[in-house]
Amino acid sequence: MNIPVEPIRTVAAVIRDPAGRVLLVRKHGSDTFIQPGGKREPGEDTLQTLARELDEELGVAMRADGAVRLGEFEADAVNEPGRRVRTEAYVVQVEGQPQVRAEIAELAWVDPRLPFPVKVAPLSAGHVLPALDRALASGALG
């Protein structure tokens, strides 16, 4: 009997630069770029998790006042084969210049529309970035 495995729960950031490009990160040992973010620790709410992860991974401070929820999305996990990942994605603004830290090996600023110049995870390519495009088109992000 197969027992269903719960998806890995994460929180993800969509960080845009003035040109409208989106920041993606690649972890050590992976060839695929993902949204920055991570797993919640006990006692944290969603935005606390995101702020902590962005500080640890990129050395930037998240501005909580400007966080806009894009939605919750699920897809195959690229860094844990055979698993699914479910994320809450937020468009956020940060203070400071993102830099490679902790488990992050590389940063890439990409146009959020296809084709991507790097290999992008299904969760980002198929869900998060299209949701960003819809939010921008509808005026939901100002």
Mean pLDDT, rounded, for 29-48: 96
pLDDT of 7-36, one tens digit each? 999 999 999 999 999 999 999 999 999 999
Angstrom distance (rounded) from CA 35 to CA 108: 10
Distance between CA atoms of residues 1 and 27, nearest Å = 34
Query: pLDDT for 53-109, tens place per residue?
Result: 999 999 999 997 889 999 999 999 998 888 999 999 999 999 999 999 999 999 999
The CA distance from 70 to 133, in Å, is 10
Cis peptide before 115 (omega within 30 of 0): yes
CATH superfamily of 8-138: Nucleoside Triphosphate Pyrophosphohydrolase (3.90.79.10)
Q: Please count the CA atoms within 13 angstroms of the CA of 110 that sit on its side-chain side.
A: 22
CA distance 71 to 123: 12
The residue that leads in pLDDT, 50 or 1, is 50
Domain ranges of the chain: 8-138
